[in-house]
Chain A
Amino acid sequence: MLTIKNINTYYGQVHALKNVSLHLQEGEIVTLIGANGAGKTTLLNTISGIVPPKSGQILFSGTPIHELPPHGIVERGISQVPEGRQVFKPLSVEDNLELGAYLRYRKRDGKTEAKKTMAVVFDLFPILMDRRKQPAGTLSGGEQQMLAIGRALMAKPKIMLLDEPSMGLAPLVVQEIFRVIENLAGEQKTTVLLVEQNARVALKTAARGYVLETGKVILEGEAADLMENRDVQRAYLGRDKKEIWER
């Protein structure tokens, strides 16, 4: 569904992604894991057009999208949930959601269609329904994360790019968020590319994963296999630390 071949992305002189290739199949949850600065967020930003690649190809259902502007990519069906939620704090929950459907409002029947999608979002996150008139800034971290996911869903994406959805959240809330992510892929057939620091949860949810290190993919495989890989365990699951602790 999404095929990435040999992309190279730079921040000025910094070569942030080196020859990265990756693919997503429809309805699949794929995770990107790696240490801070490995290039995970950069990869999401490259796909969504925020930091376009210097070279390489991104094909979405066979057509190249790497030269489109970010809004063009959203229009094709790829939505990003940014790191740190980035909700519009002074605006109400409802307004935040409506902004997610910005491109659809300009179409005929767009407004009524968007209302339907909002009902689906409220179905997924009933708490947002209760808080729909409240300014987003007054929501808890978990609720803001739900809102950020809901806002992305308002564009009816085929692919969701999720950046660190568990960051700073209590374990119970993380569980809830991941239940929704699984549901997105399972029932709504949305394809999910998930960036996570919490590699354990990510590998449990995803079918496959890629391990990034200093801008390069060093491992690709089934999530269950990656969980067993000692490099992954040491670097991202904290296994060795725990062993020492238990001794």
Chain B
Amino acid sequence: MKIWDPLHECMPREDLEQLQLEKLQATVNRVYKNVTYYRKTFTELNIIPEDIQSLSDLTRLPFTTKNELRLNYPYGMFAVPLREVVRIHSSSGTTSKPIVMGYTKNDIRTWSNLVARFMSAAGVTRDDLVQIAFLYGLYTGAFGLHYGTEAIGASVIPMSTGNTEKQVMILQDYRATVLVCTPSYAVALADYMERHGIDARSLTLRVGLFGGEPWSEELRAEIEDRLAITAMDNYGVSEVLGPGIAGECQCKNGMHIFEDAFLPEIIDPKTGAVLPPGSVGELVLTTLAKEAFPLIRYRTGDLTSLDYGPCPCGRTLVRMKKTMGRSDDMLIIKGVNVLPSQIEEAIFSVSRERPPHQLVVSRRGALDTLEILIEATEKFFALDFQEQLALLNLMKKRIRSVVGIDASLRLVEPKSLPRSEGTVVSVKDTR
């Protein structure tokens, strides 16, 4: 497999660390100068940029969390004037307010090349036809892969999500060779083809680049077998960049973090202490190459571990394990980040009360489903059947617009939900 940027992907560790130090110092100088939030926080902690003399001095800097990004909504964390931003993306926030990310012309170029790295590592070349079945829109996924494909010089089929029948038709007739989607959608495609008697081996498809939600090795084996392809994983966080933070090489033994662009740390999510290499903890990333939206020690909330051991592929970049879950209570359903608090707010905004409820996340086939059980309150009993139905429908619509995914709602008897120490168990994840 071609290494897209051998200079940076195979750099000796010593040279890489010097480059990281230079870029870290330049980034800290820039955020201190241009981002009010960072200047204020550094000043409160009595830190000046000159205190960063080595990579380990990074620990002196404060963490950035989603909360800070939310408080500085929409453009407060930008390090360049808005007129230099050529693209805006956004991600779901912890409340109804999303987080807004900006990209300069150079950021888009950096992004394209980082995505091209993991696409090349997966074996994509300029001869490929890449069908992108991520949602085009404010989310970063589709555009990231789109740019990476263009950087490599392969052809983009910007199919976006949904319409399984058409997706399969394009796979067959346009002879796509690379599929980009969520792993659960890959299974849905396999199911569809099976139902309609289409043999996956008759397709020209050979590589799948899956992301957007956590998936297991078992699921990889299933997809590889049923679609007759090589299935590759990559890692991205929309606030930090989107896809293009890390990606698997042909060894399929962890995802190489592009360390010349991101400085990774693993911390104990409770204490914030940095953990030694190999330990499982929360991944924290500092951007080294971003102009518009640089982040210092951003807590991704993803649990993983890092392996600095050599990799047979020749890359010297550290490898991160598949993420093992979220360090907070965030759920990832159908590749979308869902917070129980968002759902509660949606229910409250419709019914003006907070009935006890439980989120039941399960997997039907390979697709995630979300069911919300709501205990009927007196207010509900006062309504007739039609009105109850209308109210539930309204809630459903509201949840869809806030969270971005469909949920089924069901009313249950008062006091029927399982309780622990008097409070309702708010999430039941059976996946």
**A68 near B: Cβ within 8 Å?**
no
Interface of A, helix, strand, loop or mixed by DSSP: strand
- Contact A21 B22, CB 8 Å, known A218-B30, A229-B291: yes
Fill in one digit per residue for A181-215: 1 if any B CB lies within 8 Å of its CB, else 0: 00000000000000000000000000000100100
Chain B residues with CB under 8 Å of A92's CB are none
> Known: A18-B50, A19-B52, A230-B84. Contact between A221 and B19, CB under 8 A?
no
Minimum CB distance partner of A234 in chain B:
B84
A215-238 vs B, Cβ < 8 Å mask (1 yes, 0 no): 011111100010011110000000
Is A179 an interface position by the 8 A CB rule? no
Task: Find out whether the CB atom of B289 lies under 8 angstroms from the CB atom of A217.
Answer: no
> In the complex, what residues of A have CB within 8 A of residue B21's CB?
5, 21
CB pair A3–B18 under 8 Å, yes or no, is yes
Interface string of B22-63 (1 = CB under 8 A from A): 110110011001000000000000000110111000000000
Least CB distance from A246 to B in Å reads 18
Q: B410 within 8 Å of A by Cβ?
A: no
Q: State whether A216 and B106 are in contact (beta carbons under 8 Å apart), knowing that A19-B53, A23-B15, A23-B18 are contacts in the complex.
A: no
Q: Are B291 and A220 in contact (CB under 8 A)?
A: no
Q: Does B109 contact A (CB under 8 A)?
A: yes
Q: Answer whether residue A22 sits at the interface, using C-beta atoms and an 8 A cutoff.
A: yes
Q: On chain A, which size bracket covers the interface? A: 20 to 34
Say whether A134 faces chain B, with CB atoms less than 8 Å apart: no
B25 touches A21 (CB 8 A): yes
> For the complex, is B105 an interface residue (Cβ under 8 Å from A)?
yes
Note all chain B residues with C-beta closer than 8 A to A217.
22, 25-26, 29
Instruction: Tell me, in angstroms, the Cα distance from A244 to B53 when the chains sit together.
Output: 41
Provide the residues of chain B in CB contact with A19, threshold 8 Å. Answer: 25, 49-50, 52-53
Q: Which residues of A contact B15 (CB under 8 A)?
A: 23, 25
Q: How far is the CA of A208 from the CA of B25 in the complex (A)?
A: 17
Task: A6 to B29: give the CA distance in the assembly, Å.
Answer: 13
Query: Across the interface, which residues of A come within 8 angstroms of B52, CB to CB?
Result: 19
- Interface set, chain A 9-62, CB cutoff 8 A to B: 18-19, 21-23, 25
> A23, B29: Cβ atoms under 8 Å?
no
A20 to chain B, nearest CB (A): 8
Residues of A within 8 A of B289 (CB): 221
Question: Which B residues are CB-close (under 8 A) to A230?
Answer: 80, 84, 104
Q: Which residues of A contact B109 (CB under 8 A)?
A: 225, 228
Q: How far is the CA of A213 from the CA of B105 in the complex (A)?
A: 22
For residue A229, which residue of chain B has the nearest CB? B106
Q: Are B105 and A228 in contact (CB under 8 A)?
A: yes
Task: Report the minimum CB–CB distance from B3 to chain A (whole Å).
Answer: 17
When distances are taken between beta carbons in the complex, the residues of chain B under 8 Å from A3 are 18
B77 smallest CB distance to A (angstroms): 18
Docked CA distance A228–B104 (Å): 10
Most chain B beta-carbon contacts within 10 A, residue among A3, A19, A210, A225: A19
Q: Min CB distance, B7 to chain A, in Å?
A: 9
Considering the complex, which residues of chain B in the window 366-402 have a beta carbon less than 8 Å from any beta carbon of chain A? none
Kindly provide the distance from the CB of B425 to the nearest chain A CB, expressed in whole angstroms. Answer: 51
CA distance A231 to B84 in the complex (A): 9
Please measure, in the bound complex, the distance between the C-alpha atom of A91 and the C-alpha atom of B54, giving whole angstroms: 48
- The chain A residues found within 8 Å of chain B, CB to CB, are 3, 5-6, 8, 18-19, 21-23, 25, 210, 213, 216-221, 225, 228-231
12 A-B pairs with C-beta separation under 8 A: A5-B18, A6-B53, A19-B49, A19-B53, A210-B22, A216-B49, A217-B22, A217-B25, A220-B22, A220-B23, A228-B109, A229-B106
Interface of B toward A, CB cutoff 8 Å: 15, 18-19, 21-23, 25-26, 29-30, 33, 49-50, 52-54, 80, 84, 104-106, 109-110, 289, 291
Other A-B pairs, 18, CB within 8 Å; known A23-B18, A23-B22? A8-B50, A18-B49, A21-B22, A22-B22, A23-B15, A25-B15, A217-B22, A217-B25, A217-B26, A217-B29, A218-B26, A221-B289, A225-B110, A228-B109, A229-B106, A229-B291, A230-B84, A230-B104
